[in-house]
């Protein structure tokens, strides 16, 4: 049973470029969460999506960040015009249904902005 | 919103000793409390969780206790081994939807 997949594992972008992070949930899971982890800090919730719907984006910065989970394909977290402060590990998690709560994490994408 | 505090931030124990990590939460509506283990550069791994209708749960050397009245929950690791060395995160969920609110982590070091 394949786990949560994320790619790329490492991403280097120059300031001002765009970063696209992809997440494929576990088989049978239709709920996706994105978290950001700054160096030596805990995980901070960003956004919760179901297929074609954003359910909770209370943790997303108001500008430059967007997320989607289309009917087909992976969930994508998009960061436009990246700045140095965006450098972090971005983790995706999935769960099988609303109210299940158990969330299983992918390996993360480590974004470095130079 | 929910706020989770975790203590201690670092913990060193001798191999074979027990380790205890404590968390408090603020939202009385939270009803799900998982613990994750994260090794350096790796993904957080769910190691145990507890729901608010249960006071204690055990899985081999790991146990979690929950005091809903005091809004405290704790992770207990017995007979620690070097491979237990990692950062452990507590979290709370269920009160404000499906998202998890994490504590700041405890760096556990098990020394030989």
DSSP assignments along A1-42, one per residue = ----EEE-SEEEE-TT--EEEEEEPPTT--EEEEEEE-TTS-
pLDDT of B96 reads 63
Minimal-distance CA residue of chain B relative to A101: B98
Q: What stretch of H or E contains B89?
A: strand B86-93
Q: What residues in chain B have per-residue pLDDT under 70? A: 95-97
Q: What is the token pair recorded at B55? A: 């006071």
Residue A85 phi/psi, 5-degree rounding, is: -65, -10
* Gyration radius from chain B CA atoms: 13
pLDDT of B47 reads 97
Q: Does B95 touch chain A (CB under 8 A)?
A: no
Q: Mean pLDDT across the stretch A54-76?
A: 95
pLDDT of B54 reads 81
Confirm if B89 and B6 have CB atoms less than 8 A apart.
yes
Residues of chain A contacting B6 with CB distance shorter than 8 Å: 42
pLDDT of A100 reads 62
pLDDT of B53 reads 82
- The yes-or-no verdict on residue A1 having pLDDT over 70 is no
| CA dihedral sign of residues A63, A65, A69, A70 | positive
Shortest alpha-carbon distance between residue A45 and chain B (Å): 7
Q: Does A33 touch chain B (CB under 8 A)?
A: yes
Strands B10-14 and B106-111: parallel
| A56/B98 CB distance under 8 A | yes
pLDDT of A40 reads 76
Minimal-distance CA residue of chain B relative to A95: B98
Q: Does A59 touch chain B (CB under 8 A)?
A: yes
pLDDT of A82 reads 98
Residue B28 phi/psi, 5-degree rounding, is: -65, -15
Least confident of A45-49, A65-69, A96-100, B1-5: A96-100
Q: Mean pLDDT across the stretch A52-69?
A: 95
Question: For A42, which of B45, B46, B105 is closest by C-beta distance?
Answer: B105
Neighbours of B54 (CB within 10 A): 13
Question: For B97, which of A35, A56, A102 is closest by C-beta distance?
Answer: A56
Mean pLDDT, chain A, whole residue set: 93
């Amino acid at each position: 049973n394949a786990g949560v997949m994320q790619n790329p594992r490492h991403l280097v972008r120059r300031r001002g470029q765009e970063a696209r992070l992809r997440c494929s949930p576990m088989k049978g899971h239709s709920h996706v969460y994105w978290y950001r982890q700054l160096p030596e800090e805990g995980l901070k919730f960003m956004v919760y999506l179901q297929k074609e719907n954003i359910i909770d984006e209370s943790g997303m910065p108001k500008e430059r960040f967007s997320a989607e989970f289309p009917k087909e394909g992976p969930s994508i977290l998009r960061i436009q015009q990246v700045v140095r402060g965006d450098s972090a590990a971005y983790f995706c998690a999935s769960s099988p249904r609303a109210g299940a709560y158990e969330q299983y994490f992918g390996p993360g994408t480590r974004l470095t902005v130079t | 919103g929910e706020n989770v505090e975790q203590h201690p931030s670092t913990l060193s124990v001798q191999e074979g000793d027990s380790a205890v990590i404590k968390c408090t939460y603020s939202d009385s509506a939270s009803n799900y409390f998982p613990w994750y283990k994260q090794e350096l550069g790796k993904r957080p791994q769910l190691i145990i969780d507890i729901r608010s209708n249960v006071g204690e749960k055990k899985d081999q050397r790991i146990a979690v206790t929950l005091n809903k009245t005091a809004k405290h929950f704790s992770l207990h690791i017995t007979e620690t081994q070097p491979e237990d060395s990692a950062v452990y995160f507590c979290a709370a969920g269920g009160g404000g939807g499906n998202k998890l609110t994490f504590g700041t982590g405890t760096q556990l070091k098990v020394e030989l």
